[in-house]
Amino acid sequence: MTERTPRTRRDVLRASGALALGAAFAGPLAACASEEDAGPAGPAAPQTGAPAETFTEPTKKLSGDLSILLWSHFVPSHDTWFDRFAKDWGTKVGVNVKVDHIDQAQITTRIAAEVSAGQGHDVIQFIAPLSQFEPSVLDMKDVTDEAVKRWGQQLELCKKSSSNPKTGKFYAYSPGWVPDPGNYRKSLWEPAGFPNGPTSWDDLLKGGAEIKKSKGVQMGLGMSQEIDSNMVLRGLMWTHGASIQDANEQVVINKPETIQAVEFMARLFKETMTNEVFSWNAASNNQGLVAGKMSYIVNSISAWRTAQGTNPPVADDVYFVPALAGPAGQLAAQHVLYNWIVPKHAKNADAAKEFLLHYTENFAAATYASKLYDFSAFSSRTPNLNAWLASDPFGGKPADKLKFLTEATKWSVNIGYPGPANTAEGEVFNTFIIPNMFARVARGEQSAKDSVAAAESQIKAVFSKWRAQGLVGG
């Protein structure tokens, strides 16, 4: 039986249609929420066009049970497909497959508990790098090497987000990712002088402030302890020439460029947002966009997919922009970076690794089932992706609304950029040091200089701990 966590972000967003009909924006949602989804009223899959699934015999005889833990996908049609897909594979190879889905916000805690207990799932998926668990997982280099042998070069973004150059170990297998564009309401931004949306952080401040002043509609960039805040604030830092570490894995956060980015965010908050951004979770910006209460958010395409079903006028009004440019360039984090790990306690590692190769072989089906949300790390596995993005098979208006994502790899970088997503970066990410650094200044609790210094102290302690264990370079 498939495990499901009640009252996830998807459950909450199913009610957002009612908000769109006139109820006031309710503010932060329950802390256990997961994310938005297309919901029962979302765009239905076309009757034709889904890629045919293929099957390759495993390299060895498999048997026994295989337990899989993964998130409740932001687009739930993916999970319907995945559960059937995994069990069909199990039937073909003689393995009893059990699939559990839980809220993404609970997964790292669940992994830690299973590692501590020395028992649990055979293979686990998360939506950000799991480098902090490197000592407790099997090396996935064999799976990655086999995938490269079969399907060609792995996207560098995914390689850097699943391997440790210091140890040579692949702490995870990364077959896919999701871009993190800006989502804006055209009807709001056009009168503000930006008919094609903002292209820079300065545009965002200018246009967002005008919209809030003239229309009373806020923006939604979080400074909270949740994954979206972690992603967007790193993008802001990178475009200002700041980062947590350098390419040699040395902590370099305490520099004028970081202070500049933090001060900019404080001003952006004061002129375009409200206090909700300090306490909301990963659902809040999406709920606000779907309900017509946000002018701009940074997110994947899934909130827009939700609106297609629950609030079509808003969906038609939502457009996208790539990463915003700053003084030092145009960069963004990924919205989702798939990491599949096999813990050392796994009882059926062989089946887990063979399943991941089967899943990668059929990634085009995953992309389609997720309504173009999931992108493959191996471009040969999704040969129709650019055609789908140029003419959305799920009813986007206009049909080429997502075409800009064909160039998403040009402006997307890994957590830990310009270095790798090492164990220290994983812990810094999972303990929300960066959102807290920004929030203290925006709330007026500390100066930017003091807040950056405090973050540096925390980060250096994390890096020193992992470097002492031989898991961080430099």
For residues 372 and 44, the model is more confident at 372
- Is residue 98 one of the residues assigned to a domain? yes
Answer yes or no: do 159 and 213 share one domain: no
Checking if the pLDDT of 204 tops 60, the result is yes
Contact call for residues 172 and 395 (beta carbons, < 8 A): no
Domain match, 348 and 282 both = no
- Which tens digits make up the pLDDT trace of 406-465? 999 999 999 999 999 999 999 999 999 999 999 999 999 999 999 999 999 999 999 999
Instruction: Please give the residue range of the domain that contains residue 290.
Output: 180-334+415-468
User: How many other CB atoms sit within 10 Å of the CB of residue 360?
Assistant: 24
Residue 36 in domain: no
DSSP category for residue 135: G
Residue 283 counted as domain residue: yes
257 and 317 inside one domain? yes
Residue 243 is assigned to a structural domain of this protein: yes
Of 363, 369, 376, 362, nearest to 56 by C-alpha is: 362
Note whether 390 and 423 are same-domain residues.
no
> Residue 113 falls within a domain, yes or no?
yes
Element (H, E) at 234: helix 227-239
Q: How far is CA 58 from CA 107, 339, 354, in A?
A: 29, 22, 6
Residue 23 amino acid letter: A
Q: What is the CATH number of the domain that holds 391?
A: 3.40.190.10
Residue 280 within a domain: yes
Q: Does the structure show a pLDDT above 50 at 176?
A: yes
User: What is the spatial distance between Cα 371 and Cα 295, in angstroms, rounded to a whole number?
Assistant: 24
Sign of torsion over alpha carbons 413, 417, 419, 425: negative
Same domain, 305 and 423: yes
Mean pLDDT, rounded, of the chain: 91
* Res 38 pLDDT > 50: no
Q: What gap in Å lies between CA 392 and CA 400, rounded to an integer?
A: 6
Q: Is 98 helix (H, G, I), strand (E, B) or coil?
A: strand
Residues 189 and 294 in one domain: yes
Say how far apart CA 96 and CA 79 lie, in whole Å: 18
Q: Are residues 100 and 193 in the same domain?
A: no
Tokens read off for 91 = 């039937």
Cis bond before residue 418 (omega within 30° of 0): yes
- Find out whether the peptide bond into 43 is cis, omega within 30 degrees of 0: no
> Count of domains in the chain?
2
Q: Which two tokens stand for residue 202?
A: 């300065």
CB 56 within 8 A of CB 361: yes
Q: Are residues 73 and 155 in the same domain?
A: yes
pLDDT at 48 over 60: no
Residue percentage of the chain with pLDDT more than 90: 87
Backbone angles phi, psi at 173, to 5 degrees: -110, 130
SS3 content of the chain, % helix, strand, coil (to 5): 45, 15, 40
Query: End of a domain among 403, 424, 457?
Result: 403
Domain identity same for 78 and 163: yes
pLDDT at 109 over 90: yes
**Residue 363 β-bridge partners:** none
Q: State pLDDT tens for residues 327-343.
A: 999 999 999 999 999 99
Residue finishing a domain among 347, 378, 403: 403
What is the distance between the alpha carbons of residues 399 and 50, in angstroms, rounded to a whole number? 17
Q: State residue 43's pLDDT score.
A: 60
> What DSSP letter does each residue of 391-404 carry, written as one string?
S-TT--SSTTTTGG
Could you tell me if residue 247 is inside a domain?
yes
Name the least confident of 97-101, 171-175, 303-307, 350-354: 303-307
Q: How far apart are CA 225 and CA 202, in angstroms?
A: 25
Q: Would you place residue 297 in the very low, low, confident or very high pLDDT band (cuts 50, 70, 90)?
A: very high
Is residue 83 situated within a structural domain? yes
Residues 425 and 277 in one domain: yes
Asked if residue 39 has pLDDT above 80, the reply is no
pTM, two decimal places = 0.90
Domain boundary among 380, 403, 426: 403
For residues 227 and 325, state if they share a domain: yes
- Please give the backbone phi and psi of residue 258, each rounded to the nearest 5 degrees, phi first: -70, -45
| Claim to verify: residue 288 and residue 308 sit in the same structural domain | yes
- Structure tokens, 65: 């049970």
